[in-house]
């Protein structure tokens, strides 16, 4: 385990719990179609239009 002086173990656990809860809420609004629409196509990205 890491020894971190600037935050207590309890505060770190609370921060991690809150972060996961926030991401869980955010990800609930993304379906597979929306997720796939954000994928970068490396061929199209480098092609000059």
pLDDT of 18 reads 93
Any domain includes 17: yes
Any domain includes 42: no
Instruction: Write the pLDDT tens digit of every residue in 40-49.
Output: 776 766 555 5
Instruction: Write the pLDDT tens digit of every residue in 1-49.
Output: 667 889 898 999 999 999 998 887 777 777 888 778 877 776 766 555 5
Give DSSP secondary structure letters for 1-49. ----SSS-HHHHHHHHHHHHHHHHHHHHT--HHHHHHT---HHHHHS--
pLDDT of 10 reads 93
Any domain includes 46: no
Provide the whole-model pTM: 0.48
Domain that holds residue 15: 1-29
Any domain includes 6: yes
């Amino acid at each position: 385990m890491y020894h971190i002086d600037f935050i207590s173990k309890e505060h770190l656990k609370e921060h991690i719990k809150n972060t996961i809860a926030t991401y869980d809420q955010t990800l609930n609004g993304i379906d597979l179609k929306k997720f796939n629409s954000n994928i970068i196509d490396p061929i199209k990205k480098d092609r000059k239009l």
